[in-house]
Structure 1
Amino acid sequence: MSDGGYGDFEFERRFVVADLPTSLLDEPAPALIVQSYFLAADGYALRIRVQAGSALAELGPSTDPLDVLDAHEFDFCALTAKGPAAGGTRYEAERELDVATGVEMVRRGGQRIVKNRYALWVGADGWVVDVFGGANHPLVVAECERAGPVTDLEIPTFCTSEVTDDPRFSNDALARTPYSLWRGTFADELAERGPRFLGDFGNDRRSTD
């Protein structure tokens, strides 16, 4: 949720990652996240997220989010309502929940995803890199979020192509229509058109690292 005078709006840009940068392995252990979407339609979403800080789970294509839920202790839970995204901006209102209650709600319903989330700094910006398991394996998405519009961004070299404006890559869409169902289609699109980076967010530059 933004705290930069924009109320309950988030500002982010998202990129697919072809190869997980090895530098992330030197960072502290990622957060383990299981999310359940009780509503995911037309850009609107109602999500419960449970998270375990500094926990690394082995995630593969056969990983069941419910098995992950049973195997780990979680220390944070939140309920989030989201509106449709437009131009890197999205309404998001979040409220923290009792963890035990949230875990049981995730266990009982919704469309689930599971991922390890790494955090790192690139220039002046904090980034998260989500490594998905289950039906969304082997998708890796990098995201930069700010308290205001994400302009004049230093884009890390590990970012293959921008998907800020591609609704297929939102987490609620991935819960409903997992990456494994259209991975080949996206690979064909990328091969045909090449990488793309949006040009309406100021003066972006590629990192030299």
Structure 2
Amino acid sequence: MSDTGYGDFEFERRFLARDVPGELLDAAPALIVQSYYLADGGYALRVRAQASAVDVPVDLALDEATLLERFADRVDFCAVTVKGPMAGGTRYEAERQLDPQVGVEMVRRGGARVAKLRYSVWLGEDGWVVDVFAGGNVPLVVAEVERGGPVTDLAIPGFCVTEVTEDGRFANDALAHAPFGVWAAAYADELAATGPRFLPGFGRDHRMSGT
């Protein structure tokens, strides 16, 4: 739960990323495997298993179940989360931490899965996460910033191609059932035709130089 006065509501903005500078991805990432017990209309019930600071190479081509098994003994954080639909960069999200062994078993027995490497970086005045997806969602990379209140006046890194905050196709619960790898080519054509899009109404966003 947030301690900012907004209860269980989270504020975030998400961007399709490309050509992320290599130095931002030098630190050992977390490997995250998520299982969705429910994903319908933006509502989701998710169990996450996470192995922090993975310092060995990870083959992103491996499927989500195989990645979970390869790193199951390194999982050090698990949680069950209930989410509501995204609206204007705001989403209901209530989380409860689980015992890692229980969490791993829940992911094994759950529904559709998503796996990704998560890198945490500090850019400008914000902490960002860069998620490099594995399995069926290769070659998707999503950069995300989260704050305790509305994400306004944002310095957007140059590697952010277009904003996907309100594009439901890029929600993790949607990607579990319709992996990006299946529709990546069609989306590339769509983006070429429409051009990038950044949401209005969030103050004075600007492009960050040097990224």
Q: Same fold (TM over 0.5)?
A: yes
Query: Counterpart of 2:42?
Result: 43
Deviation of 1:75 after TM superposition, in Å, equals: 0.1
Find runs of 4+ consecutive structure 1 residues off by over 2 angstroms: none
Pairs within 5 Å for 1:106-121: 106-121=107-122
**Residues 2-25 of structure 1: CA deviation (Å, up to 9, x unaligned):** 331100001000000122321223
> Given that residues 15 and 164 in structure 2 are in contact (C-alpha distance below 8 angstroms), is that contact kept between their aligned partners in structure 1?
yes
Q: Does 1:16 align with 2:16?
A: yes
Query: Counterpart of 2:31?
Result: 32
Supply the AA of the counterpart residue of 2:105: E
Q: Per the alignment, in what secondary structure is the counterpart of residue 85 of structure 2? A: strand
CA distance in 2, matches of 1:95, 1:195: 36
Alignment RMSD, CA only? 1.1
Query: Counterpart of 2:63?
Result: 64
CA distance in 2, matches of 1:91, 1:109: 22
**Residues 150-192 of structure 1: CA deviation (Å, up to 9, x unaligned):** 0000001110111111010010010111101211121011101
> Given that residues 59 and 134 in structure 1 are in contact (C-alpha distance below 8 angstroms), is that contact kept between their aligned partners in structure 2?
no
> Given that residues 82 and 94 in structure 2 are in contact (C-alpha distance below 8 angstroms), is that contact kept between their aligned partners in structure 1?
yes
Deviation of 1:60 after TM superposition, in Å, equals: 2.8
**Residues 79-131 of structure 1: CA deviation (Å, up to 9, x unaligned):** 00001110000000000001101101111121111100000011110000000
Q: Per the alignment, in what secondary structure is the counterpart of residue 87 of structure 1? A: coil
Pairs within 5 Å for 1:106-145: 106-145=107-146
Q: Per the alignment, in what secondary structure is the counterpart of residue 174 of structure 2? A: helix
CA distance in 2, matches of 1:201, 1:2: 21
Q: Per the alignment, in what secondary structure is the counterpart of residue 86 of structure 1? A: coil
> Given that residues 154 and 206 in structure 2 are in contact (C-alpha distance below 8 angstroms), is that contact kept between their aligned partners in structure 1?
yes
CA distance in 2, matches of 1:180, 1:208: 30
> Given that residues 9 and 93 in structure 2 are in contact (C-alpha distance below 8 angstroms), is that contact kept between their aligned partners in structure 1?
yes
Query: Counterpart of 1:184?
Result: 185
TM-score under structure 1 length normalisation: 0.95
Query: Counterpart of 2:54?
Result: 55
CA distance in 2, matches of 1:119, 1:25: 8
49-58 or 87-96: which moved more?
49-58
Q: Where in structure 1 are there 5+ consecutive unaligned residues?
A: none
TM-score under structure 2 length normalisation: 0.95
State the percentage of identical aligned residues: 63
Q: Per the alignment, in what secondary structure is the counterpart of residue 181 of structure 1? A: helix
Q: Per the alignment, in what secondary structure is the counterpart of residue 40 of structure 1? A: strand
CA distance in 2, matches of 1:59, 1:175: 19
Task: Give the total of aligned pairs.
Answer: 207
